[in-house]
Amino acid sequence: SKKPVRVAVTGAAGQIGYALLFRIASGEMLGKDQPVILQLLEIPDEKAQNALKGVIMELEDCAFPLLAGIEAHSDPMTAFKDTDYALLVGSRPRGPGMERAELLAVNGAIFIGQGKALNAVASRNVKVLVVGNPANTNAYIAMKSAPDLPAKNFTAMLRLDHNRAASQLAAKTGMAVSDIEKLTVWGNHSPTMYADYRFATIGGESVKGLINDETWNRETFLPTVGKRGAAIIAARGLSSAASAANAAIDHMRDWALGSNGKWVTMGIPSDGSYGIPKDVMFGFPVTTENGEYKIVQGLDIDAFSQECINKTLKELTDEQAGVAHLL
């Protein structure tokens, strides 16, 4: 049988953590033949550490055959030791009345510290996914704080936006969500993201051709996907957790095990493709194989798409300029 791999998860006692850990431990992320050791990080606060103990008790009580070990940590320097995968879920989301500068500063401190810790102690091949918001900029900060690790190993989660878009398109066309191919979401994980179905097919047919309604695209589809997080908060009184955890599983599984030629969306440091400046942590269409992702090249960007891409890019370069003094 395979040697266990180490999976670090931060914010492990939070609501996404609760929807995520059991699925990692059951083999849904890395395969039903891959044992895992969970290295869980929470803040040192007694309440958080106690909650983490409770989650660990429940993980134990599942008696998962693939769960080869569980560790509780309050310091990223121990939590990330030799880790092969790191899911950075814990962050400080924007609170009521919180200034942008304050949000960037508190998260800057968290992701500089975690980036440095990954740099110091993680596996040299660690695959990092940042879920905690602002996800793209937090991933950028961690990447810049880990100069000894390959920049390409740092990614941000756009997959929830991708899955939300796929589900809206399946509902609109009355087709199966699993038949959708060649969909992507460009840019920032924020309402400025640009979900782009111009190239998408469903059961081999053009989605754009099937829908044939540009007004629906601009006035219904894009705002619905962009504001889905807010709609869930309004309905549930809590932010999306199970769907976020599911997207994190999808992102890591496809990165580690391959997408079999299918396009998926990942937030990755730009290599300059499509005019996105190098290192900007940007949602791109990628295919994955042998643990590596490749940007889908050669797509035509029409005037409306360019406008949308420019807008989400501007938001990201502003965020990244706002943290430049910290790095």
Residue 13 annotated as binding? yes
Instruction: Give the residue nearest to ligand NAX (CB).
Output: 14
- Check 73, 189, 251, 325 and give the catalytic one: 189
| β-bridge partners, 184 | 196
Site string for ligand NAX, 76-115 (x = CB under 6 A): -------------xxx-x----------------x-----
Residue 15 assigned to a binding site: yes
Footprint on residues 176-195 left by ligand NAX (CB under 6 A):
189
Query: Least distance (Å) from ligand NAX to the CB of residue 140?
Result: 13
The pairing of beta strand 201-202 with beta strand 180-181 = antiparallel
Neighbour-count burial for 44-69, b at 16+ CB within 10 Å, e otherwise: eeeebeebbeebbeebeeeebebbbe
Distance CA 30, CA 48 (A): 27
- Residue with Cβ nearer ligand NAX (129 or 149): 129
We find the least distance from the C-beta atom of residue 51 to ligand NAX, in angstroms, to be 7
Site for ligand NAX in 233-292 (CB under 6 A): 239-241, 244
Under rule CB under 6 A, residue 160 binds ligand NAX: yes
When asked if residue 206 is in the footprint of ligand NAX (CB under 6 A), the reply is: no
Count of all residues that appear for the chain in the document: 327
Q: Are 290 and 71 in contact (CB under 8 A)?
A: no
On whether 49 is known to bind a ligand per the annotation, the reply is no
Is the CB of 87 or the CB of 202 nearer to ligand NAX? Answer: 87
CA atoms within 13 A on the CB side of 144: 21
Report the 10 Å Cβ neighbour count for 119: 17
Q: Is 251 a catalytic residue?
A: no
Q: Is there a binding annotation on residue 168?
A: no
For residue 42, which of 22, 77, 7, 14 has the smallest C-alpha distance?
Answer: 14
* Stretch binding ligand NAX (CB under 6 A), from 6-14, 200-208, 214-222, 272-280: 6-14
Whose Cβ is closer to ligand NAX: residue 77's or residue 175's? 77
**Distance between CA atoms of residues 252 and 246, nearest Å:** 10
| Residues ≥6 apart with Cβ < 8 Å to 315 | 187, 188, 190, 192
How many residues sit in the footprint of ligand NAX (CB under 6 A)?
Answer: 27
**According to CB under 6 A, which residues from 12 to 71 bind ligand NAX?**
13-17, 41-43, 48
Ranges within 110-149 binding ligand NAX (CB under 6 A) = 110, 131-133, 135
Strands 194-196, 184-186: pairing is antiparallel
107 annotated as belonging to a binding site for a ligand: yes
Q: Order of strands, edge to edge, in the sheet holding 36-41?
A: 67-73, 36-41, 5-10, 85-88, 127-130, 154-156, 264-269, 281-289, 292-295
For residue 52, the minimal CB distance to ligand NAX (Å) is 8
Q: Is 231 annotated as a binding residue?
A: no
Which residues lie below 8 Å from residue 10, measured CB to CB, with a gap of 6+? 41, 42, 76, 79, 86, 87, 88, 89, 90, 114, 132
Q: Is 166 annotated as a binding residue?
A: no
Which residues contribute to the site for ligand NAX (CB under 6 A)?
10-11, 13-17, 41-43, 48, 89-91, 93, 110, 131-133, 135, 157, 160, 189, 239-241, 244
Q: Binding site for substrate: which residues?
A: 94, 100, 133, 164
Q: Binding site for NAD(+): which residues?
A: 11-17, 107, 114, 131-133
Could you list the active site residues?
189
